[in-house]
């Protein structure tokens, strides 16, 4: 177990001009559960594979502990990896699949036997040890793949979308099993996923990537509440954050966010920051999450300067909540979360109150977060 450090790591595949991973800097703490998240093709697997030694590093260094591992073959790096499609050896029994790594390290037979049985017990696959991988269900195969990783105690576990082949229910179950496994074993883990819910629920910290560039590295709370830019704000959260283009204008002693349909009064703190950035009378992007928009009468009365009127276009019932898509005269609908006891028919007029303390402002051109 040890720290892992990426130092200005770049990756370019063969003759391709574009970087698959660009200037990747990261320190992974010992025993940390770190999640890489990002849309498809953003370089998550590439980064992981460079760490595993399956892919050359074009520029920069990767450290495991205090050693640079750039030139070290995978077998000497002492890491284990779970592949997206499990990559179980089809010709070997479950037992041999799990034991293979130990056999390669020339451990005595009885020790191997003990370790394999222990791993199998933890993962509840003791009864399948004699079977071949093709005689197992997807979830069982998944466990075997995990077993192959945890049977050793490596410097780090690398998991590349290990749950993406499972159905939704099993995915949730395996998710919590992996977390409790991590708590028990405490080995540094890097987990790749494109599912932001998985990232939020599992990670001690999350690395959000896009186009080979790290966007933000932070705890799930920070990433959710203070996304550094529009990309992260849009990527994390479901349904995603609402964005509205508008202008900042001084009005009656306060600063207001203006569109041609409505105006919202900023908090003192927001106004202070944005004034200092000289953004008054300039274009800006306003962001608010669906749960920070309220239909409650009290809220509407309490904050007359931060309400928006609109027409209901669509509602989505998801059990505990209902999401309303409101036409507010901008190019995109405003999505608001409501308690299911509220019911609006499509086409009805309604007013919502925006909780300005929870809203964010982003730079119009760069997309960078301006307020906290």
Partner 1 sequence: MQESRLIAMKRRLTVKWEDFVLALRLLERAQIWIAILLLPLAIFMLLPLVYLFNHAFKPLHELFLFPPTFIVREPTTGNFVELLALSESTIVPVSRYIFNSIVVTFLSTIAMVVTGAMCAYPLSKHPFPGSKIVLGLIMLALLFATEAVAIPRFIVIQSLGIMNTYLGHVLPLVALPVGVFLLKQFMDQIPNDLMEAAKIDGAREFTIFMRIVIPLVNPAIATISILAFQSAWGNTETSTLFMQEDAMKTLPFYMSTLTSGLANSVARQGAAAAGALIMFIPPLVVFIVSQRKVITTMAHSGIK
**Strand 322-327 relative to strand 334-338: parallel, antiparallel, unpaired?**
antiparallel
Task: Name the residue among 148, 84, 85 with its Cα closest to residue 119.
Answer: 148
Residue 270 as a binder of ligand ATP (CB under 6 A): the answer is no
Nearer to Mg ion by Cβ, of 39 and 273: the residue is: 39
Give the integer Cα–Cα distance in Å for 17 and 38: 21
Give min distance, CB of 7 to partner 1, in A.
22
Interactions with partner 1, residue window 117-176 (CB under 8 A): 148
Q: Are 285 and 364 in contact (CB under 8 A)?
A: yes
With H, G, I as helix, E, B as strand and everything else as coil, classify residue 277.
Answer: coil
Length of the chain in residues, anyone?
372
Nearer to ligand ATP by Cβ, of 161 and 256: the residue is: 161
Q: Which stretch binds partner 1 (CB under 8 A): 20-28, 77-85, 207-215, 237-245?
A: 77-85
Interactions with partner 1, residue window 277-336 (CB under 8 A): none
Choosing from 83, 93, 132, 185, the residue that interacts with partner 1 (CB under 8 A) is 83
Residue 90 as a binder of partner 1 (CB under 8 A): the answer is yes
Interactions with ligand ATP, residue window 7-36 (CB under 6 A): 13, 16, 20
Nearer to ligand ATP by Cβ, of 49 and 325: the residue is: 49
Which of Mg ion, partner 1, ligand ATP, none sits in contact with 40, Cβ below 5 to 8 A by type? ligand ATP
Give min distance, CB of 42 to ligand ATP, in A.
4
Give min distance, CB of 235 to partner 1, in A.
27
> C-alpha 230: how far from its chain's center?
15
Tell me which DSSP letter residue 333 carries. P
DSSP element (H, E) containing 79: strand 79-82
Which of Mg ion, partner 1, ligand ATP, none sits in contact with 104, Cβ below 5 to 8 A by type? partner 1
The half-sphere exposure of 300 on its side-chain side, counting CA atoms within 13 A, is: 9
**Strand 33-38 relative to strand 188-193: parallel, antiparallel, unpaired?**
parallel
Give min distance, CB of 68 to ligand ATP, in A.
22
Give the integer Cα–Cα distance in Å for 116 and 333: 55
Choosing from 2, 46, 97, 306, the residue that interacts with ligand ATP (CB under 6 A) is 46
Show the tokens assigned to 215. 């966007």
Give the integer Cα–Cα distance in Å for 3 and 64: 6
The half-sphere exposure of 202 on its side-chain side, counting CA atoms within 13 A, is: 33
Which of Mg ion, partner 1, ligand ATP, none sits in contact with 46, Cβ below 5 to 8 A by type? ligand ATP
Closest residue (Cβ) to ligand ATP?
A: 45
Residue 44 as a binder of ligand ATP (CB under 6 A): the answer is yes
Give the integer Cα–Cα distance in Å for 47 and 315: 40
**Binding residues for Mg ion, per CB under 5 A?**
45
CB atoms under 10 Å from CB of 143, counted, come to 23
Give the integer Cα–Cα distance in Å for 163 and 160: 9
Interactions with ligand ATP, residue window 153-212 (CB under 6 A): 194
Give min distance, CB of 172 to ligand ATP, in A.
20
Q: Which residues sit at the interface with ligand ATP, rule CB under 6 A?
A: 13, 16, 20, 38, 40-46, 194
Contact set with partner 1 (CB under 8 A)? 52-54, 73-75, 77, 79-81, 83, 85, 87, 89-91, 100-101, 104-105, 148
């Amino acid at each position: 177990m040890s720290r892992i450090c990426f130092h200005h790591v770049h990756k370019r595949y063969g003759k391709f001009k574009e970087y698959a991973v660009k200037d990747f800097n990261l320190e992974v703490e010992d025993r940390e559960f770190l999640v890489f998240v990002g849309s498809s093709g953003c370089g998550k697997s590439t980064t992981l594979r460079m760490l595993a030694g399956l892919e050359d590093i074009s520029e920069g260094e990767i450290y495991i502990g205090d050693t640079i591992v750039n030139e070290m073959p995978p077998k000497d790096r002492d890491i284990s990896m779970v592949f997206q499609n499990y990559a179980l050896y089809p010709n070997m029994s479950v037992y041999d699949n799990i034991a293979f790594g130990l056999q390669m390290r020339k451990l005595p037979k009885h020790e191997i036997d003990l370790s394999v049985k222990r791993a199998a017990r933890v993962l509840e696959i003791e009864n399948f040890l004699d079977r071949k991988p093709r005689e197992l269900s997807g979830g069982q195969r998944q466990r075997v793949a995990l077993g192959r990783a945890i049977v050793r105690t490596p410097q780090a576990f690398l998991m590349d979308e290990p749950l993406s082949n499972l159905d939704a229910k099993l995915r949730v179950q395996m998710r919590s099993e992996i977390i409790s496994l991590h708590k028990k074993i405490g080995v540094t883990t890097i987990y790749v996923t494109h599912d932001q819910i998985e990232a939020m629920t599992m990670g001690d910290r999350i690395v959000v990537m896009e186009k080979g560039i790290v966007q933000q590295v932070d705890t799930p709370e920070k990433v959710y509440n203070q996304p550094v830019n529009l990309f992260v704000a849009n990527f994390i959260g479901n349904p995603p954050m609402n964005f509205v283009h508008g202008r900042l204008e001084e009005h009656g002693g306060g600063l207001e966010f203006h569109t041609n349909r409505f105006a919202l009064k900023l908090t003192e703190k927001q106004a202070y920051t944005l004034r200092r950035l000289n953004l008054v009378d300039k274009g800006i992007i306003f962001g608010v999450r669906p749960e920070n928009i309220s239909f409650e009468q009290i809220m509407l009365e309490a904050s007359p300067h931060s309400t928006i009127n609109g027409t209901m276009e669509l509602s989505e019932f998801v059990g505990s909540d209902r999401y309303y898509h409101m036409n507010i005269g901008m190019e995109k609908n405003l999505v608001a979360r409501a308690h299911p006891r509220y019911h609006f028919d499509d086409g009805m007029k309604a007013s919502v109150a925006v909780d300005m303390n929870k809203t964010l402002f982003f730079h119009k051109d760069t997309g960078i977060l301006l307020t906290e």
